[in-house]
Amino acid sequence: MTALARSLVPTLRTVGLAAGLPVLLVLGWGLATQGSQSFYFPGPATVARTFVDTWFGPAFVQDVLPSLGRFGAGVALSIVIGIVAGTAIGTTPWLRELLEPMLEFFRAVPPVALVPVLMLLLGIGDSMKLAVIVSGCVWPVLLNTVEGVRGVDPVLTETSRSYRVHGALALRYVILPAASPRIMAGIRLCLSIGLILMVISEMFAASSGLGYRLVYFQRSFMIAEMWSGIVLLGLIGVVVATIFGFVDRRVLHWYHGLREVARG
């Protein structure tokens, strides 16, 4: 075997293993819907065609971009609020004890139950949708930041204290880096909750957005369009998860390296 072939075989095997099942599933879906005229389950070719027709065009600007914009803004706001408030709460013991029961309670309220409340308070505009996303997304970041800041290795804090590293300097170079694995775990949860809330907030009384479209297609029995919307949401979820994985590896490369060494 030549060197090229030898390096090619493992690559091919990896590609085969990664692509095999998805290809089989799509083929199975195609075969299952081939002869049938099932109303609810169109074939993959129909869905793919509808996907292009529905989303590549004005709908992208009208529905997809505003949704993604609200999602991005809501998540960014949640991350900033969560980290700032979480650091303050985590580094101040009396504040933490004061707020802990309330935080436990608010975290436990299903964010969607707040949609009607926020609709009452803020109407049905963009601010309501943003508030819905933030009200659900902020908790995982906040609570994970609190835990992360609290759980900083005491040796680390005492060393930095004996070197007189205080205030902002300690925050920037000791506390936040040490808390970053927990904070990133919180952000991962924040992203998936944010996506759900983006859709839900648009299902109530909206006139644009992915959630609105999805409900509209379902109510008008535009089945293939509805499927294409589900596929689009899935794709957005996958893309967001991939981007997060990339950023996570960048930000926490030292941490993942440590874990691998520890595992041996």
Partner 1 sequence: MSWTTSRGRVLGLLGILGFLATWEVAARSGLVNQTYLPAATTTLARLGRELGTPQFWAALGDTLITWSVGLAIAFLAAVALGAVVGLVPFLERATHSTVEFLRPIPSVAIIPLAVLIAGLSREAALMVVVYAPFWQVFVQVLHGVADVDPVARDTARSYRLGRYERLRHLVLPTALPYVITGLRLAASVALILTITAELVIGNPGLGRQIEVYRAAPDAAGLYALVLVTGGLGVLVNLATRMLERRLLFWHPSVRKEKAL
Count of CB atoms within 10 A of residue 126's CB?
15
Q: Tell me which stretch binds partner 1 (CB under 8 A): 3-11, 57-65, 109-117, 246-254.
A: 109-117
State yes or no: residue 25 binds partner 1 (CB under 8 A): yes
Q: Which two tokens stand for residue 215?
A: 């409900």
* Span of 42-50, 51-59, 82-90, 208-216 interacting with partner 1 by CB under 8 A: 208-216
Task: Give the count of residues interacting with partner 1 (CB under 8 A).
Answer: 56
Tokens of 182: 């927990």
Q: Report, in Å, the least distance between residue 40 CB and partner 1.
A: 6
Q: Phi and psi (nearest 5°) for 29?
A: -60, -45
Single residue of 3, 5, 102, 155 touching partner 1 by CB under 8 A: 102
Shorter beta-carbon distance to partner 1: residue 31 or 121? 121
Question: Looking at beta carbons only, is 13 or 166 nearer to partner 1?
Answer: 13
Helix or strand or coil: residue 195? helix
Q: Are 124 and 206 in contact (CB under 8 A)?
A: yes
For residue 200, give the amino acid letter: I
The full length of the chain comes to: 264
Options 64, 119, 124, 156; binder of partner 1; rule CB under 8 A: 119
Rounded to whole angstroms, how far apart are CA atoms 5 and 231?
Answer: 37
Identity of the residue numbered 162: S
Q: Where in 159-198 is the site for partner 1 (CB under 8 A)?
A: 192, 195-196
Establish if 22 lies at the interface with partner 1 (CB under 8 A).
yes
Give the list of residues 6+ apart from residue 172 with CB closer than 8 angstroms, or none.
none
Residue 148 beta carbon to partner 1: minimum distance, rounded to whole angstroms: 16
Contact in structure between 135 and 73 (CB atoms under 8 Å): no
In the list 58, 110, 154, 167, the residue contacting partner 1 (rule: CB under 8 A) is 110
Query: Which residue has tokens 């980290």?
Result: 83
DSSP character at residue 234: H
CA 96 to CA 153: how far, in whole Å? 19
Give the C-alpha separation, 28 to 191, whole Å.
32
Write the burial class of residue 108 (CB in 10 Å: 0-12 exposed, 13-18 middle, 19+ buried): exposed
226-255 footprint of partner 1 as x/- string (CB under 8 A): xx-xx--xx--xx-xx--------------
Binds partner 1 (CB under 8 A): choice among 203, 208, 251, 255: 203
| One residue of 48, 68, 77, 99 binding partner 1 per CB under 8 A | 99
262 is a contact residue toward partner 1 (CB under 8 A): no
Q: Is 65 in the site for partner 1 (CB under 8 A)?
A: no
Instruction: Give min distance, CB of 13 to partner 1, in A.
Output: 9
Residue 146, classed as helix, strand or coil, is: helix
Q: Quick check: 218 binds partner 1 (CB under 8 A)?
A: yes
Structure tokens that stand for 116 in this block:
């009607």
Residues that bind partner 1 (CB under 8 A): 17-22, 25, 40, 94, 96-102, 104-117, 119-121, 192, 195-196, 199-200, 203, 211, 214-215, 217-218, 221, 223, 226-227, 229-230, 233-234, 237-238, 240-241
